[in-house]
Chains A and B, each alone.
Chain A
């Protein structure tokens, strides 16, 4: 790959059309820099060794003496899920037969029931529950749907098969009306039973893709992600299929968007700088988040994020890092700690002289989101992020990753990223 690239580059530009190209050192020098950084960060982790590993690894909710108790779920085996459901159903049946109707006690997933725990650097769910009685006009629908979903999952447990969320929805379209309703109840159910969504044997359609220096087994088949063609390998929807991860990469590059991912994949960026490139094409799904966490935990690589320079880019970053409010009950399994914000950062707009016509004015909604994010704890904990976000809100300008294409389609992979790596410019 590399020799194919070199002649192209030398003939294409003589350091003039691509700005900042001149500062760029040779790939070898950058690689050296990177290696030294990684080894130093590793030794740093190693030196604080016992304390850091013990604090990062086994630190759980139970270790913290939080004022309010929190709820977390665990992976459960199929049979224990089945038993849980059966217990619930028998209770319901008994209650009905006693003439008392029935009701579910569902943990509330509202924003007021969420808590950001700085020690864990993720959002967790507090223990507030709401009662969902059948005999109430406002909750009868949800209660019925919950009962129905419980019965359906019970069937899955008996047969030991996986279905998608879409499948589940189509089993009773008339009752569920639209998929958002059955999806929401599904999350309620996993929260109620105290298990992860994957342990309910319900999966979402494949969304994320991965390419680069990674080898893993998917349901027993060995996959080499450098040999998956340009598009890469779709991330398996259920993480239990994934194992035996191996890699010689130096870092993981998390990309917000498909377009930038395709650019990097086609340019075989991972061959120039050994890395693994992942994208969930926008808001990340559960599978991608689980996969990223697994990679981070098993391979112990730094994760660098390439997102748009707008409030939503940072929001996506936060979902990978601290979890979403919707699934905060499972944040322990879904979040990846210590993601570095590589770009595109608001300060890059001027630093890389991105032309005015490629920047977009932020809408009022954007600015409001930006200001709201400044209040969020996961932003506040990182002073660098606060600074960048403040700059964004102040300049009222945003830019997508694609804005870099104004210097040529390959500017991203040829100059921007290498330069970023060389300067170790991440927060």
Chain B
């Protein structure tokens, strides 16, 4: 995949460092160029994945933006399919009919057509036969028209939110310059690369050449910024087509981003929908509206994920680095950036878990070259290595998890109930733990049963509150759930039950694996243990519920299952009695007195099989009654699973209520 218009000559040039070249052939590569050429690391491997990644980047940006101003997010995503002719008209290209049909890859030769016709005839014959025999016809195999190479499909992706919006003047640089952001503190963030919409813009530039359109308004502004721009990949600067202010009639604030890209809806449809659904699980306080508009209306999709709560997790706080997590480069940068004068102040202020006392001790340990009062800017690179080594070896307190923003047990639970409607759900939130100086929190939920859930274990993974969909196999959550949890011991059937396993990990640094940052490795024992114990905690909660349910079922079926064995048991007893009676009457064996009394009754048919049966049935009846009574007193009032309901907030502007008062309640009519 040599990037469309990313220059091939750059590569050539750099490989051929001949002296006779006209100018310096060693070209500097702009960050935008680098990402254009390595788009797979940012999740733009192919058109389908690119469509998916574009959607997720836009959605995650939107959520971040709304949360940053503590607004309950409302996100609208629209994907509009654009046919070839429409696309051509958009870029001002006139449709051209094929003249030389044999030139094209999808040209059907005579032989191939013959084959196809025969096949189709046979298919219709079978269909007719099935119809005649009254068999239910399976979906007739729609002859899949293979999409010819080079025939791309284009999509207009629009994402609108109610977030912070962007300052009018910053918009071009925010989109048109890769890595122009200044976010370099340490913070739990959704984005994986901090590229966000820029990568989508590069992709649109590469695949369609169409510019991106941005509308934005901030809360204090009375206008809407509209900006149309694209990016100059080589120079890594924005290329502005239009940048203007419009009237803001609806007092809207937020951003709307529209980009036209090449994509593939057919292959990534389910991934995108899964993504939206899982996002709704982990963000139940947000409202999502997802729409897919196709050229053929019957393929349209509209999904609305409604809000179920207005409790938002706190915004993650930016924190300082933990000494055991920094590398040499980072120390260098911190030294350059710091505003502190002395080494002591630097250590004390630029890191967590180093107080003045500890800083002094650390400096003492570094050796005679260091002193608390020395200027931090005078620290040489060699000395930095010493600092780094000491950081690695010294013991520091673990960083606290206060800077993290987990979804919260409440939200996770709501999300699961809202989207899966399970029969049972349990959630657990672990305490903060530490891996290589970065705090992390594992939250888990386990559900049983539900709508649209497959049998067996369904795994939902979240990292920093975004769903992970790819490369499930190697993930720590998958491995743990499938291999290290003994589901049987919690009365859960691993293959028969519909099990949902939800694990959300938040951290200031998620240790992703793989190029696409799509999974968390299984080799980190701290995380693996935390995941396992979180899932187990959920299972323990579920077990008691399941056991209760089994008991309830046993209650209902007890009488029947007991009565089933009455004939067998009494039959066996009676058989022996009869034999004994025979022995007794033939005087082959002498019995004790009380035994003979009974045997005589048997021979006189006072005791028969039937009497035994009746008496045992009576006993069963009585026991059943007693146990039912006991069960009822023990479990108290029948406990139907209570479900939380979420009531939409009333519009506070509405205040003309009519209250009907009674001594015990108020009845309010809402007009």
Contacts and interface: CB of A to CB of B under 8 A. Distances in A.
Instruction: Indicate whether A and B interact.
Output: yes
Interface of A: 85-87, 89-90, 92-94, 96-102, 134-137, 140-141, 143-144, 147-148, 150-151, 154-155, 158, 172, 175
Given A97-B607, A144-B568, 10 more contacts: A86-B576, A90-B577, A90-B594, A96-B619, A97-B611, A99-B619, A143-B569, A147-B572, A150-B576, A154-B576
Can you list the 3 inter-chain pairs with the closest CB atoms, starting with the nearest? A101-B619, A151-B572, A135-B623
A140 B616 contact: no
A135 B573 contact: no
B286 interface: no
B576 A151 contact: yes
A147 B611 contact: no
A158 B583 CA distance: 10
6 contacts: A90-B594, A92-B573, A93-B612, A101-B619, A137-B562, A144-B565
A148 B570 CA distance: 9
Given A99-B619, A100-B619, A155 B579 contact: yes
B580 interface: yes
Contacts of B565: 134, 140-141, 143-144
Interface in B564-609: 565, 568-570, 572-573, 575-577, 579-580, 583, 591, 594-595, 598, 607
A85 B580 CA distance: 11
Contacts, number: 91
Chain B's interface: helix, strand, loop or mixed, by majority? helix
A93 B623 contact: no
A172 to B, nearest CB: 8
A140 B570 contact: no
A86 B595 contact: yes
Given A96-B619, A97-B611, A134-B616, A148 B568 contact: yes
A140 B568 CA distance: 11
B434 interface: no
A135 B624 CA distance: 8
Nearest to A149: B572
Contacts of A86: 576, 580, 591, 595
Contacts of B576: 85-86, 89, 150-151, 154
Nearest to A158: B579
A175 B562 CA distance: 14
Contact of A97 (B554, B615, B620): B615
Contact of A137 (B554, B570, B591, B598): B554
A172 B580 CA distance: 22
A101 B607 contact: no
B602 to A, nearest CB: 9
Q: Which of A100, A141, A151 has the most CB of B within 10 A?
A: A151
A151 B623 CA distance: 26
Given A144-B569, A154-B579, A101 B620 contact: yes
A151 B575 contact: yes
A338 B301 CA distance: 80
B573 A93 contact: yes
Contacts of A154: 575-576, 579
B558 interface: yes
Contacts of B591: 86
Interface string B552-566: 001001100110010
Given A99-B619, A137-B561, A90 B598 contact: yes
B595 A90 contact: yes
Contacts of A141: 565
B408 to A, nearest CB: 39
A96 B572 contact: no
Contacts of A158: 579, 583
B618 interface: yes
Given A137-B558, A144-B565, A96 B620 contact: no
Nearest to B555: A137
A93 B619 contact: no
B573 A147 contact: yes
Given A90-B595, A93-B612, A147-B568, A140 B562 contact: yes
Nearest to A86: B580
Contacts of A140: 561-562, 565
B627 to A, nearest CB: 9
B569 A147 contact: yes
A96 B615 contact: yes
A94 B598 contact: yes
A329 to B, nearest CB: 23
A90 B561 CA distance: 25
A91 to B, nearest CB: 10
Contacts of A90: 577, 580, 594-595, 598
B95 to A, nearest CB: 67
Contact of A175 (B558, B568, B580, B623): B568
A240 to B, nearest CB: 23
A94 B599 CA distance: 11
A93 B598 contact: yes
A172 B568 CA distance: 10
A143 B607 CA distance: 22
Contacts of A135: 562, 619-620, 623-624
Nearest to A92: B573
Contacts of B557: 137
Nearest to B554: A137
Interface string B245-258: 00000000000000
A395 B620 CA distance: 59
Contact of A150 (B572, B595, B612): B572
B573 A151 contact: yes
B573 A101 contact: no
Nearest to B591: A86
Contacts of A101: 616, 619-620, 623
Interface string B605-642: 00100011001101110111000000000000000000
